[in-house]
Structure 1
Amino acid sequence: MSNPVRQPELECELLSGCGAIELLIRPRDKDLGGFSVRRSLPTTERKMVGPWIFFDHMGPAQFPAGEGINVRPHPHINLATVTYLFEGEILHRDSLGSVQAIRPGDINLMVAGRGLVHSERERPEVRRVPHRLHGLQLWLALPQACEEIEPAFYHYPNAEIPSVTVAGVPVRVMMGTAYGVTSPVKTYAETLYLEAHLQAGQSLLLPDAAERGLYVAYGELKVRDTLLPLHSMTVFSSAAGVVVEAVEESRIAIIGGESLGQRHIEWNFVSSRKERIEQAKRDWQAGRFPKVPGDAEEFIPLPE
């Protein structure tokens, strides 16, 4: 998904935690025209959690026939995007020639590397009827040694993503290793991305990681006496033995991994070097990025 503004930090309510909780972020809804987005990363106070530098929760949105997601071609550098849907479908096209419908449960990993352009639209048969869309859009910073690698696209269908039951809680291990299970999704650094669905009263021991964040897609949880409300992102320390308990039926995403150091982010560009972002901006304005086959007539201009 393209970032509609040059500076990506959205306003959030930030609450300092205690003990294992370092920060509790409560993003505010932002209307992107027909659907809302809540951005937990980056914020002014917290840019990244592990290698994760961007975390958007889009929807749920109900579109009438003839309307829907229609994101024109736009560029990325030095990052990898991860798209994950709870409901609906998005049609991905990119400048490598990839054409892929993304459906609930799939993992779509697009590695921009030295530069890649993509669009996110919908198939005509989806758009011509009323439909819903609900999901997460995440960006991974790449290690410095991998920032300028060749662009690549990887798609992992729902059936390839491993699941495990932990104390009665179903968990999907989307990226990395947790609870004795390893995802097949390609990683470039130590990376953690899980989804869990808890019923009221159930508890889950969080996996260990150098940095960890927990997002509440729906429901409410608690850590001892601290509530983790709907649509909040809680950043935890690396302390072992952290247990969360569902106050009500809840669906959560857990992200984390190793710190990659400082990254700069402007519009759709992420890099360890500010001058690389400036070069990417000039290249996009000059039309030097590759075109998207089958979707080459439109593009999103660099925001003012």
Structure 2
Amino acid sequence: MLDLVIEARQASLGHGLEVHRILPFRLKRMVGPFIFMDHAGPVNMVPEQVSQMDILPHPHIGLSTVSYLFGGQVMHRDSLGVEQIIRPGEVNWMTAGRGIAHSERFEDPTTLAGGTLEMIQTWVALPEKDEEDAPAFDNYQPGQLPVFTEKGVWMRLIAGQAFGLNNSVKTHSPLFYLHVVLEPGARFGLPQGHTERGVYVAKGSLEVAGRTYTTGQLLVFNSGTEPVLVGREKTTLMFLGGEPLGERFIWWNFVSSRKERIEQAKADWQQGRIPLPPTDNQEFVPLPEDRSRPAGWPSPQPLS
């Protein structure tokens, strides 16, 4: 039934901003098309320190970054000229395709005060046929994301299809991504019709087949099983998965089905062929020099 339990690892993005890194994992690089997952916060900093948290312009290829906030707000700027504040319950879906750069800045001085900033960031790998598409960006408001409720269960469909729900979020392969809240004692299942399925415990604790799982654990379930998830307390979950895309290579912020494309992306960033955001182009994250570093970010490291 339960194939694997992945424990989130602590990672520092500098200046006191810590994240829980869930994917990739050495025994499970991807769940469906999801190849990266970080949980940041809740962050509690004094307003004077907010600017230190800014995530400088950095590049991506071959993936979509998906930003979803539980609290706080972030200003997104990218090389398409997009400037977008993302707030809780919204979805920022940025498709890098052949190459994009973006920054994330905390320009509201109260955004980190009182532990309000908390966000989940995932990367969704693109199918081979879409890896070289033109970059794109979309912001989806809460009203565009259907919500389902029943006794003890609240659920928002972030993207894809699940439990008979769908929305207008543009995806490139079959997947599901949900924000689920269970009240104590509430029972719920996983969406059917998907080859790979995972449940991340963002807050609280969960019982499955008599065992308890807690905050920071990603539960990966075998195909065809129908587990019953029981909230031990008020529990916030992220459901994610879908159809596998095949092997992907990941280095720093680059994802591709081809190793040589990763090398090209490195050169493109070093030589300025991936443009910076037009309104945020005075600084950027340089290409890491340490090629032995595990997949991730240099210091200071971007959230996505």
Tell me the TM-score normalized by structure 1: 0.90
TM-superposed CA distance for 1:128, in Å, is: 9.8
TM-superposed CA distance for 1:149, in Å, is: 0.3
Report the equivalent of 1:113: 97
Q: What secondary structure does 2:143 align onto? A: helix
Report the equivalent of 1:224: 209
Q: What secondary structure does 2:260 align onto? A: helix
Asked whether the 8 Å contact 2:67–2:93 carries over to 1, the reply is yes
* Pair 236,127 (structure 1): closer, same or farther in 2 beyond 3 Å: closer
TM-superposed CA distance for 1:127, in Å, is: 6.1
Report the equivalent of 1:31: 12
Matches within 5 A, 1:9-24: 20-24=1-5
Q: What amino acid is the match of 2:134?
A: E
- Alpha-carbon separation, structure 2, partners of 1:164 and 1:131: 28
Q: What secondary structure does 2:264 align onto? A: helix
TM-superposed CA distance for 1:183, in Å, is: 2.0
Match of 1:79 among 47, 52, 63: 63
Report the equivalent of 1:62: 44
Match of 1:162 among 146, 151, 154: 146
- Alpha-carbon separation, structure 2, partners of 1:132 and 1:277: 36
Q: What secondary structure does 1:284 align onto? A: helix
Report the equivalent of 2:299: none
Report the equivalent of 1:273: 258
* Pair 291,227 (structure 1): closer, same or farther in 2 beyond 3 Å: same
Matches within 5 A, 1:144-183: 144-183=128-167
Match of 1:49 among 28, 31, 41: 31
- Alpha-carbon separation, structure 1, partners of 2:143 and 2:47: 30
Is 1:244–2:229 an aligned residue pair?
A: yes
Is 1:101–2:82 an aligned residue pair?
A: no
* Pair 227,279 (structure 1): closer, same or farther in 2 beyond 3 Å: same
Match of 1:300 among 285, 291, 294: 285
Q: What amino acid is the match of 2:9?
A: R
Match of 1:192 among 150, 167, 176: 176
Q: Which moved more, 1:261-270 or 1:290-299?
A: 290-299
Q: What secondary structure does 1:278 align onto? A: helix
Match of 1:290 among 265, 275, 291: 275
TM-superposed CA distance for 1:123, in Å, is: 2.4
Asked whether the 8 Å contact 2:72–2:111 carries over to 1, the reply is no
- Alpha-carbon separation, structure 2, partners of 1:64 and 1:99: 25
Q: What secondary structure does 1:287 align onto? A: coil
* Pair 222,96 (structure 1): closer, same or farther in 2 beyond 3 Å: same
- Alpha-carbon separation, structure 2, partners of 1:83 and 1:215: 15
Match of 1:210 among 195, 201, 212: 195
Question: RMSD over aligned Cα, in angstroms?
Answer: 1.5
- Alpha-carbon separation, structure 2, partners of 1:49 and 1:28: 17
Q: Deviations over 1:223-281 (max 9, x none)?
A: 11222221100111112422111111100000000000000000000000010000000
Identity %: 46
TM-superposed CA distance for 1:303, in Å, is: 1.2
Q: What secondary structure does 2:44 align onto? A: strand
Structure 1: which 4+ aligned runs deviate by more than 3 Å?
124-131
Unaligned segments of structure 1, at least 5 residues: 1-19
Asked whether the 8 Å contact 1:166–1:204 carries over to 2, the reply is no
- Alpha-carbon separation, structure 1, partners of 2:112 and 2:55: 17
Asked whether the 8 Å contact 1:223–1:245 carries over to 2, the reply is yes
* Pair 219,108 (structure 1): closer, same or farther in 2 beyond 3 Å: same
Q: What secondary structure does 2:185 align onto? A: coil
Q: Deviations over 1:46-94 (max 9, x none)?
A: 1000000000000110121122330000000010000000000000000
- Alpha-carbon separation, structure 2, partners of 1:124 and 1:55: 25
* Pair 125,29 (structure 1): closer, same or farther in 2 beyond 3 Å: closer
Report the equivalent of 1:14: none
TM-superposed CA distance for 1:180, in Å, is: 1.7
Q: What secondary structure does 1:66 align onto? A: helix
